[in-house]
Amino acid sequence: MTRSARAFWFNPPGRGEIRTAQVGEPGPGEVLVRTRYTGVSRGTESLVLRGGVPENQYEVMRAPFQEGEFPGPVKYGYLNVGVVEAGEPELLGRTVFCLYPHQTHYVVPAASVTVVPDTVPPERAILAGTVETAVNALWDAAPLVGDRIAVVGAGMVGSSVAGILARFPGVRLQLVDPDPARAEIAKAFGIPFARSEDAAGDCDLVVHASATEAGLVRSLELLAPEGEVIELSWYGDRRVSVPLGEFFHSRRLAVRASQVGAVSPARRSRRTFGDRLALALDLLAEPAFDVLITGESGFDELPSVLPRLADGELPALCHRIRYGS
């Protein structure tokens, strides 16, 4: 027996549409999930909407349950929270997170869903994929007690990193962004905010997540000798220019990439993808993370909302999509 579901498809450049999808009954080891909320990861999904994924990154950028091929049309997305309606008995009725696109119902292996803890509202749990990226970045960065740390770029990922570091003992932490309105995010997490030009230097560690050339250059400027930038930005098909002359060599600076597609080497032998995602969901028990959800629309509005998010007409960090009543 099959049922009709509805799914959002990206149709670059700049367009998307809702299509009908046929969903079967779950087989052994599978679950049927009814979606309650999805989140729009604005940076990545804007890149997909404009057709900006480089051809040599098509496989790297695939979402776990993507349909279609880049540049599009493609069914894409990875911040989905729903309720298990059929399948494995121990999961029936449970609220779960899954790296699934924007779709009303879907069937996946039970191992692909993670139960949302009772301490985390479903409305906030859509942030799990982003907080998971932040967890991996901090496993890569390995901050130490007493470090001087700047997070440059107060978008979803940078703010998630700052939100986790806010609990870290003894650090001098600042969230850095050119937009003064982002100070509200720092306030919610109880940490200092600085405009880019006013940020304190002499940092042991800078986590860069602004996805701008200016942000990366400023990150290097903020480092103390032998400091390190952890680069979280995804530039897609854009090239950036980095000043590797001047003080880069004399200060023995470093820039290192972090990407959520693989568990950090620092934990790979002892943590699975499931462990990392479960940790991210546990961290979301902190109510301050609600500051990262800056708007909400209904599923039927996605074809008109996503282009407005992509071009900046509708300012947002994480925009929540609501399914049904």
Dihedral sign for Cα atoms in the order 169, 234, 251, 178: negative
**Side chain identity at 256, as an amino acid letter?**
R
Structure tokens at 2: 């099959």
User: How high is the pLDDT of residue 164?
Assistant: 98
Per-residue pLDDT reduced to its tens digit, 13-65: 999 999 999 999 999 999 999 999 999 988 889 989 999 898 988 998 899 99
pLDDT digits (tens, 9 = 90+) for 187-214: 999 999 999 999 999 999 999 999 999 9
Domain topology for 130-257:
Rossmann fold (3.40.50)
- Identify the band that residue 144 occupies on the pLDDT scale cut at 50, 70 and 90: very high
Dihedral angle of Cα 121, 33, 136, 291, to the nearest 10 degrees: -30
Give CA angle at 58 (53, 63), nearest 5°. 95
Residue 293 has a pLDDT of 96
How far is the C-alpha of 157 from the C-alpha of 174, rounded, in Å?
15
Positive or negative, the CA dihedral 269, 275, 280, 284 is negative
Alpha-carbon gap, residue 5 to 282, rounded angstroms: 30
The sign one gets for the Cα dihedral 312, 314, 320, 322 is negative
Q: 38 in helix, strand or coil?
A: strand
**pTM to 2 decimal places:** 0.92
DSSP secondary structure string, 194-225?
Answer: E-GGG----EEEEEE-S-SHHHHHHHHHTEEE
Q: What is the CATH number of domain 2-127+284-322?
A: 3.90.180.10
Report how far residue 151's alpha carbon sits from residue 186's, in angstroms, rounded to the nearest whole number.
Answer: 11
pLDDT of residue 2 exceeding 90: no
The dihedral through the CA atoms of 131, 135, 141, 144 has a sign that is positive
CA pair distance 86, 109, nearest whole angstrom: 12
pLDDT above 70 covers a percentage of the chain that reads: 100
Average pLDDT over residues 82-103: 97
Can you give the pLDDT at residue 325? 58
User: Which carries the bigger pLDDT value, residue 235 or residue 198?
Assistant: 198
> How many of the other CB atoms lie within 10 Å of CB of 54?
15
Answer yes or no: is pLDDT of 270 > 70: yes
**Within 90-204, where are the H helices?**
122-125, 128-141, 156-165, 183-189
CA within 13 Å, CB half, 26: 22
Predicted confidence (pLDDT) per residue in 119-133, tens digit:
999 999 999 999 999
In this prediction, residue 245 carries a pLDDT of 82
Q: What is the pLDDT of residue 7?
A: 98
Is there a contact between 294 and 184 (Cβ–Cβ < 8 Å)? no
pLDDT at 205 (0 to 100): 98
Q: With 90 as the cut, is the pLDDT of residue 251 above it?
A: yes
What pLDDT does residue 112 have? 96
* Range list for CATH 3.90.180.10 in the chain: 2-127+284-322
